[in-house]
């Protein structure tokens, strides 16, 4: 099979391939295509009905957590990933990164066929030729006896594949591979191993009453964020008895913003605090080292003592002394007796087993630099990007005799290789994963490969079978057969296991053992309190990770949960420090450390110490596809090559100088004002007030608020609400719809509750909505507008700078307190996250202004937007107090326009149930009306009524906090009907009489657990 370079797989070819191979998944006709063709199957696969979704259980491979996902497959193509409700790890939830795997699958810049280097260029070749070259080169290496010096760098994964690779390597007399996971919190893992004997003990938030987080960003990128968030939200939903969180670190991360108290300790001073807590030092020493009030430390010590075994201390630091500090944090748990209560080593998470240390990678780099490595294999790891530049990986890698890449994307490392044997995406692959010790979950293909790619396992097997000397060790034809052969119970049991979320058991093949690496360079020096310059905190991005997510426009477009910046790198600096330096937001700052320097615009953030700047990883790719290339800067350039005592990279390891440049760029932010101006959008109440009589707190902080009773029944007291008092059979107000109409649609009132006590601001709902509703991403550099007849705005995020992001649901992040930040540093501010989407008002201001009825109120309570009727006056948006209507400024859905948001084959992920909106049309949240209709159709086909909580919206489905509940408020059997009457319920802008169908439940605040008596 040969395909020309750059030519995509044509739809017809795709159909043919599938039909011919008769795979379990296949494709039917273009039910949703514009072409006037009606293509049937050649032979129709079992249980497939055109236009009806099937769900394949598989396991997410985007991070080490190993969540179970369901791939929704329509006509042979996955169109959405959802959490698998049966999977013990994620219990149905899913994060933004996981959902965005689809954009990795359908990425237009993926390797489309094998490639071979000819001179300086990679040229497409056939698989036969590629395998021939591979065999030949392997033969050469082995014949020269260089096999022992081969290097195989694999992106970290659990399951059988690592063992399989090591088997293959050992058959070729090569050393075991290195499993690279730059996102793994290696210091924590090392400390956990030392303290608890496992890499990652289970964390029980619910059992705790006081959580100390030493930069343990369990809601951002530290550990398994979906299971952690689920547990955290459940724990916080206990309201009055919820655990309180104290966050200790120089930068307030998303986890920090969810904390009840922030102790802004200087980087490197955490040990002193631990010592004070453990009684090994005094509070005064700790306070001095950490540069915080002594009273705070004293109160903290008292709080920890008071909490006893309900203390949960977590350490997620990445300083040179992180392992030591982690051990001391574990000591706090031990001393308090909370091991086994809040920290459960018995229920370990297995995701980080087998991760190679940074030191091993440095060692391999040094061997390469010395010219000792004859052949190197790379699979989806990208050390040319994700290692401190000072290590010099790229230059070292260039000296490798022959470099083979199995990566799916043309990233910085792959493009240095000589032979590209593109692997299948995990959604096209067979595989397995072990997330919880002893629980195995499977990866199965949800579609035939999009491009001319092959599973790396299959390729390794063919290479081995081509080599007569070792062919006998690989009797199976491909990796799937190899897996089945190694599966207890064989093919039948295997087929059954595929439909299950997890099965007990472990992969048969185990990893090879790697030789320990001796440290040849001294570790990074500890951060000293007395040094020069500002602390430079580098942290993995909550959306892009360490950069692997940067090629996915959904993740690029998703604003960082803390800073709300997208498509950019920024330098966080405290407003006070900025004022002293004369820096305004957006002014370029050069941050220079001993290792290197970067320049990025300043973001004034009150959640960072004034002597610290913070920079996220993830951007600054020089390759890796159109969405990643030349966006932002790479913070790895700042990192010194030193490591901590466990041999892992310390991200917070240096001080640097920060200088202001004359240049200025606008921040690509979705943030308007971060203050509510007393408008009662994000409301909160103190935990103690929940059981207090209701009168005591009632809207007094909203000036101009019309004093009236909260009417969760969504019935307007003033205007004639369209649906009348549907909930009250005695009422004569039957609303404006014909109750006699046979369809009885007006009996329903679709509604939603959002519990702000649960919401963490993680933004998974945003990406879920993009995925479900075909929302275009608009921030890519090619999507900008014309600045003059001849020039285009090619800044990444140009449209977002213009406020044109399309997120139907957005996460607003409002601050309370700390209004004098530019003159004073204070850690005591509160953050409230509000998911804001169309409120589906009973009396919607947007509706009567539309001249063509493109928006109106449907009998079942939806504020409907009819795209094909819309002429685009944008009047509705002007009149929407919530500002949740989004406009198609360009032809984002038109392939012939440069702003097209789904370059081929990305359009394969489009949901056929949702219209792709044309230019000049208004769009907004529909409450996933396509899911409502699907549910109604299903119920109707089965000749029954809808069951309570039968389906939900995409945002609610994904939400790892379970903050969003959707349903029929008019039917008491649905959960939402009960929640809407909660004690904490309120409508946003109730005083405008919009009578929204979205009911928010107030956030619950707790007093600072370690409030200083003097403060």
Partner 1 sequence: MTTKKKWTVIPGFLALAAAATLLSAYSGASSSQGKLVEQPIKFIHNPHVEKLGMNCLYCHSGANKAMDPGNASVASCMGCHTVVKANGSEEIKKLDEYWNKKEPIPWNRVHKVPDYVQFPHMRHVNAGVTCQSCHGEIQKQGAAGVGEGYKPVEQFASLNMGWCINCHVQGYNAAEGAKLAGLPDSVVTALAKEPVKKARYDCAVCHY
Partner 2 sequence: MGTIAQPVEELRRPNIASADVQLPAVKDYEQVDREIIATLGFTRKWLIGLSVSIAAMLVGASAWIYQIYWGLGQAGYEPPVMWGVYIITFVFWVGIGHAGTLISAILYLFRAGFRTSIYRAAEAMTVFAVMTAGLFPIIHIGRPWKFFWLIPYPNWRLLWPNFKSPLVWDVFAISTYLTISTTFLYIGLIPDLAVLRDRETNPTRKRIYGILSLGWRNSDREWRHFAKAYLFLAAFSTPLVLSVHSVVSFDFAMTLVPGWHASIFPPYFVAGAIFSGFAMVWTIAIPMRKWFKLEHYITLNHLDATAKVVLFTSMVVGCAYMIEFFIAWYSGVRPEQEFFWNRVFGQWWWAAWIMLLCNMALPMSLWSQKLRRNPTWLWFLSIFINIGMWYERFVIVVPSLSHEFEPWQWGSYTPSWVDMSFLVGSFGWFFMWFLLFVKQMPVMAIMELKEIVVPRRKHAVDGGHH
Partner 3 sequence: MQGVLGAFHHLDTTVHAIEELKKARLGDVTVYSPTIRHEIDDAIDAPNSVVRRFTLVGGLLGVSFGYWISIWTGDYWPLVTGGKAIASWIPYTIIGFELMVLVGCLSTVAGMFINARIPRLTTTVGYDPRFSGGHFGIFVSCGADKAPQVEALLQKHGADEVRRED
Residues that bind partner 1 (CB under 8 A): 15-16, 19-20, 28-29, 31-32, 34, 36-44, 49-52, 741-743, 745, 853, 856, 858-860, 862, 864, 866-869, 913-916, 926, 929-930, 933, 937, 940-941
**DSSP secondary structure, 338-394, as one string:** -BTTTEEGGG-B-TTTTPPPHHHHHHHHHHHHTT--SEEEEES--TTTSS-GGG-HH
48 binds partner 2 (CB under 8 A): no
Least spacing, CB of residue 553 vs partner 2, in Å: 17
CA 232 to chain centre: 17
849 binds partner 2 (CB under 8 A): yes
684 binds partner 2 (CB under 8 A): no
Q: Which residues contact 273 (CB under 8 A, 6 or more apart)?
A: 214, 248, 263, 265, 286, 289, 290, 297, 300
586 binds partner 2 (CB under 8 A): no
Distance CA 667, CA 587 (A): 9
> 859, 745 in Cβ contact below 8 A?
yes
Distance CA 932, CA 750 (A): 9
279 binds partner 2 (CB under 8 A): no
Distance CA 643, CA 634 (A): 19
Choice between 187 and 806, CB closer to partner 1: 806
Choice between 62 and 860, CB closer to partner 3: 860
Q: Among 3, 33, 59, which residue's Cα sits nearest to residue 912? A: 33
Q: Which of residues 408-467 bind partner 2 (CB under 8 A)?
A: none
Q: Which of residues 985-1014 bind partner 2 (CB under 8 A)?
A: 989, 992
Of residues 671, 725, 816, 930, which one binds partner 2 by CB under 8 A?
Answer: 671
918 binds partner 2 (CB under 8 A): yes
505 binds partner 2 (CB under 8 A): no
CA 365 to chain centre: 30
Choice between 52 and 471, CB closer to partner 1: 52
Of residues 12, 871, 973, 1007, which one binds partner 2 by CB under 8 A?
Answer: 871
Of residues 611, 920, 938, 939, which one binds partner 2 by CB under 8 A?
Answer: 920
Q: Which residues contact 937 (CB under 8 A, 6 or more apart)?
A: none
Is residue 546 classed as helix, strand or coil in its secondary structure?
A: coil
Least spacing, CB of residue 843 vs partner 3, in Å: 4
- Binding partner at 941 among partner 3, partner 2, partner 1, none, C-beta below 5 to 8 Å by kind: partner 1
922 binds partner 2 (CB under 8 A): yes
Least spacing, CB of residue 30 vs partner 1, in Å: 9
Least spacing, CB of residue 605 vs partner 1, in Å: 40
> 547, 618 in Cβ contact below 8 A?
yes
- Binding partner at 676 among partner 2, partner 1, partner 3, none, C-beta below 5 to 8 Å by kind: partner 2
Distance CA 661, CA 683 (A): 40
- Binding partner at 888 among partner 2, partner 1, partner 3, none, C-beta below 5 to 8 Å by kind: partner 2
- Binding partner at 32 among partner 1, partner 3, partner 2, none, C-beta below 5 to 8 Å by kind: partner 1
Phi, psi of 819 (to 5 degrees): -90, -10
Choice between 227 and 842, CB closer to partner 2: 842
Of residues 787, 940, 947, 1014, which one binds partner 2 by CB under 8 A?
Answer: 787
> 1013, 296 in Cβ contact below 8 A?
no
Least spacing, CB of residue 883 vs partner 2, in Å: 4
Least spacing, CB of residue 705 vs partner 3, in Å: 21
Q: Which residues contact 24 (CB under 8 A, 6 or more apart)?
A: 45
If one counts every other C-beta atom within 10 angstroms of the C-beta of residue 66, the result is 31
- Binding partner at 471 among partner 1, partner 3, partner 2, none, C-beta below 5 to 8 Å by kind: none
Distance CA 261, CA 767 (A): 29
Q: Are strands 431-434 and 439-443 parallel, antiparallel or unpaired?
A: antiparallel
8 binds partner 2 (CB under 8 A): no
Choice between 310 and 804, CB closer to partner 2: 804
> 828, 599 in Cβ contact below 8 A?
no
Of residues 888, 915, 952, 961, which one binds partner 2 by CB under 8 A?
Answer: 888
Of residues 684, 875, 938, 1011, which one binds partner 2 by CB under 8 A?
Answer: 875
Contacts 24+ apart (CB under 8 A), 464-473: 464/168, 464/171, 464/172, 466/131, 466/135, 467/135, 467/138, 467/139, 467/172, 470/171, 470/172, 473/167, 473/171
If one counts every other C-beta atom within 10 angstroms of the C-beta of residue 129, the result is 13
873 binds partner 2 (CB under 8 A): yes
Phi, psi of 883 (to 5 degrees): 55, 55
- Binding partner at 301 among partner 1, partner 2, partner 3, none, C-beta below 5 to 8 Å by kind: none
Q: Which of residues 793-812 bind partner 2 (CB under 8 A)?
A: 799, 802-804, 810, 812
Q: In Å, what is the CA distance from 886 to each residue of 258, 798, 801, 877, 906? A: 29, 16, 15, 8, 22
886 binds partner 2 (CB under 8 A): yes
- Binding partner at 915 among partner 3, partner 1, partner 2, none, C-beta below 5 to 8 Å by kind: partner 1
Is residue 915 classed as helix, strand or coil in its secondary structure?
A: coil
- Cβ burial, residue 490 (10 Å; 0-12/13-18/19+): exposed
Least spacing, CB of residue 995 vs partner 3, in Å: 8
**DSSP secondary structure, 318-347, as one string:** -STTHHHHHHHHHHHHHHHT-BTTTEEGGG
> 447, 428 in Cβ contact below 8 A?
yes
Q: In Å, what is the CA distance from 817 to each residue of 676, 968, 1008? A: 11, 37, 14
Q: Among 405, 400, 349, which residue's Cα sits nearest to residue 379? A: 405
Choice between 35 and 530, CB closer to partner 1: 35
Of residues 218, 750, 882, 951, which one binds partner 2 by CB under 8 A?
Answer: 882
Q: Which residues contact 620 (CB under 8 A, 6 or more apart)?
A: 547, 569, 598, 631, 632, 633, 634, 635, 636, 637
Least spacing, CB of residue 837 vs partner 3, in Å: 19
Choice between 804 and 931, CB closer to partner 1: 931
606 binds partner 2 (CB under 8 A): no
- Binding partner at 36 among partner 2, partner 1, partner 3, none, C-beta below 5 to 8 Å by kind: partner 1
**DSSP secondary structure, 689-738, as one string:** GGGS-GGGSSSTTSTT-------TT---SSS--TT-STT-TT-S--TTS-
Q: Are strands 244-248 and 810-816 parallel, antiparallel or unpaired?
A: unpaired
Contact residues for partner 3 (CB under 8 A)?
Answer: 716, 719-722, 736-737, 842-848, 850, 853, 855-857, 995
Least spacing, CB of residue 913 vs partner 1, in Å: 7
- Binding partner at 877 among partner 2, partner 3, partner 1, none, C-beta below 5 to 8 Å by kind: partner 2
Least spacing, CB of residue 392 vs partner 1, in Å: 53
314 binds partner 2 (CB under 8 A): no
Distance CA 480, CA 495 (A): 11
Least spacing, CB of residue 993 vs partner 2, in Å: 9
Distance CA 159, CA 953 (A): 32
- Binding partner at 844 among partner 2, partner 1, partner 3, none, C-beta below 5 to 8 Å by kind: partner 3
- Binding partner at 883 among partner 1, partner 3, partner 2, none, C-beta below 5 to 8 Å by kind: partner 2
- Binding partner at 981 among partner 2, partner 3, partner 1, none, C-beta below 5 to 8 Å by kind: none
**Number of residues near partner 2 (by CB under 8 A):** 61
Point out which residues bind partner 2 (CB under 8 A): 671-679, 681, 702-704, 785-789, 799, 802-804, 810, 812, 814, 836, 845, 848-853, 869-875, 877-879, 881-883, 886-891, 897, 899, 918-922, 989, 992
């Amino acid at each position: 099979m040969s395909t020309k370079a750059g030519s995509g797989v044509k739809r017809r070819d795709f159909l043919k391939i599938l039909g011919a191979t008769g795979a379990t998944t296949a494709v039917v006709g273009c039910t949703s295509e514009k072409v006037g063709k009606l293509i049937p199957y050649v032979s129709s696969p079992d249980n497939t009905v055109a236009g009806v979704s099937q769900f394949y259980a598989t396991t997410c491979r985007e991070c080490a957590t190993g969540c179970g996902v369901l791939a929704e497959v329509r006509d042979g193509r996955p169109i959405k990933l959802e959490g698998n409700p049966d999977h013990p790890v994620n219990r149905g939830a899913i994060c933004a990164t996981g959902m965005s795997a689809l954009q990795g699958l359908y990425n237009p810049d993926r390797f489309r066929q094998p490639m071979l280097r000819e001179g300086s260029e990679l040229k497409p070749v056939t698989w036969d030729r590629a395998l021939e070259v591979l065999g030949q080169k392997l033969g050469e290496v082995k014949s020269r006896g260089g096999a022992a010096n081969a290097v195989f760098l694999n992106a970290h994964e659990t399951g059988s594949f690592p063992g399989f690779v090591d088997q293959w390597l050992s058959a070729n007399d090569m050393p075991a591979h290195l499993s690279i996971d730059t996102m793994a919190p290696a210091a924590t893992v090392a400390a956990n191993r030392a303290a608890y004997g496992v890499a990652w003990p289970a964390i029980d938030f619910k059992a705790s009453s006081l959580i100390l987080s030493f930069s343990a960003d369990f809601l951002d990128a530290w550990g398994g964020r979906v299971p952690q968030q689920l547990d955290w939200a459940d724990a916080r939903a206990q309201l009055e008895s919820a655990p309180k969180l104290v966050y200790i670190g120089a930068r307030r991360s998303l986890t920090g913003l969810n904390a009840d108290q922030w102790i802004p300790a200087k980087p490197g001073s955490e040990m002193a605090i631990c010592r004070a807590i453990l009684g090994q030092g005094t509070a005064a020493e700790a306070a001095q080292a950490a540069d915080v009030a002594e009273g705070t430390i004293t109160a903290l010590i008292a709080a920890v003592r008071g909490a006893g075994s309900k203390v949960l201390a977590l350490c997620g630091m990445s300083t040179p002394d992180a392992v030591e500090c982690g051990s001391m944090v574990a000591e706090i748990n031990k001393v308090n007796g909370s091991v086994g209560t809040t920290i459960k080593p018995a229920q370990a998470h297995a995701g980080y087993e087998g991760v190679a240390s940074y030191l091993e990678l440095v060692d391999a780099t040094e061997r390469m630099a010395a010219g000792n490595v004859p052949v190197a294999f790379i699979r989806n790891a990208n050390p040319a990007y994700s290692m401190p530049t000072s290590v010099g990986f790229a230059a070292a890698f260039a000296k490798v005799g022959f470099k083979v890449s199995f990566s799916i994307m043309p990233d910085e490392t792959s493009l240095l290789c000589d032979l590209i044997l593109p692997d299948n995406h995990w959604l096209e692959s067979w595989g397995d994963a072990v997330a919880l010790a002893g629980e195995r979950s499977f990866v199965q293909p949800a579609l035939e490969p999009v491009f001319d790619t092959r599973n790396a396992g299959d390729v390794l097997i063919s290479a081995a079978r081509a080599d007569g000397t070792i062919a006998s060790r690989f009797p199976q034809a491909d990796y799937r057969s190899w897996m089945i052969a190694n599966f207890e119970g064989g093919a039948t049991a295997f087929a059954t296991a595929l439909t299950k979320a997890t099965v007990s058991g472990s992969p048969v093949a185990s990893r090879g053992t790697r030789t320990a690496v001796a440290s040849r360079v001294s570790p990074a020096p500890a951060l000293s309190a007395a040094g020069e310059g500002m602390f430079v905190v580098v942290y993995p991005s909550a959306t892009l990770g360490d950069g692997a997510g940067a090629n996915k426009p959904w993740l690029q477009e998703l604003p960082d949960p803390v800073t709300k910046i997208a498509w950019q790198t920024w330098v966080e600096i405290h407003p006070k420090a900025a004022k002293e330096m004369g820096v305004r937001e957006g002014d370029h700052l050069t941050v220079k450390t001993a290792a290197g320097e970067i320049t990025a615009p300043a973001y004034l953030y009150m959640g960072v110490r004034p002597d610290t700047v913070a920079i996220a990883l993830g951007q600054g790719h020089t390759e890796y596809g159109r969405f990643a290339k030349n966006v932002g800067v790479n913070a790895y350039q700042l990192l010194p090559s030193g490591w901590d005592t466990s041999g892992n990279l310390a991200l917070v390891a240096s001080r640097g100088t920060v200088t202001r440049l004359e240049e200025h760029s606008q921040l690509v932010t979705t943030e308007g004002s971060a203050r509510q101006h007393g408008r009662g959008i994000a409301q909160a109440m103190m935990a103690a007030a929940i059981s207090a009589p209701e009168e005591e707190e009632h809207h007094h902080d909203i000036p101009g608020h019309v004093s009236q009773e909260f009417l969760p029944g969504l019935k307007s007291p003033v205007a004639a609400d369209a649906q009348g008092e549907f909930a009250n059979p005695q009422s004569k107000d039957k609303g404006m719809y014909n109750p006699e109409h046979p369809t009885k649609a007006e009996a329903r009132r679709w509604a939603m509750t959002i519990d702000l006590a649960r919401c963490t601001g993680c933004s998974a709902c945003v990406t879920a909505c993009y995925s479900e509703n075909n929302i275009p991403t608009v921030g890519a550099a090619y999507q900008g507008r014309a600045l003059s007849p001849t020039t285009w705005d090619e800044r990444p995020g140009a449209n977002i700078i213009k406020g044109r992001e399309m997120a139907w649901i957005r996460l607003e992040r409002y601050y309370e307190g700390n209004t004098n930040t530019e003159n004073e540093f204070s850690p005591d501010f509160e953050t409230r996250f509000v998911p804001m989407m169309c409120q589906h008002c009973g009396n919607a201001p947007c509706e009567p202004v539309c001249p063509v009825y493109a928006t109106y109120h449907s009998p079942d309570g939806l504020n409907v937007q009819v795209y094909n009727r819309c002429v685009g006056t944008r009047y509705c948006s002007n009149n929407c107090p919530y500002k949740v209507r989004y406009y198609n400024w360009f032809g984002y859905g038109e392939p012939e326009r440069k702003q097209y948001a789904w370059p081929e084959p990305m359009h394969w992920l489009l949901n056929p149930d949702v219209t792709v909106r044309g230019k000049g049309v208004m769009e907004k949240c529909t409450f996933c009306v396509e899911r409502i209709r699907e549910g109604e159709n299903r119920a109707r086909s089965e000749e029954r009524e809808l069951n309570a909580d039968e389906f939900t919206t995409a945002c609610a489905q994904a939400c790892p906090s379970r903050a969003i509940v959707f349903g029929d408020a008019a039917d008491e059997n649905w959960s939402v009907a009960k929640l809407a009457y909660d004690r904490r319920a309120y409508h946003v802008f109730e005083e405008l009489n919009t009578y929204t169908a979205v009911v928010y439940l107030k956030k619950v605040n707790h007093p600072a657990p370690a409030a200083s008596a003097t403060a």
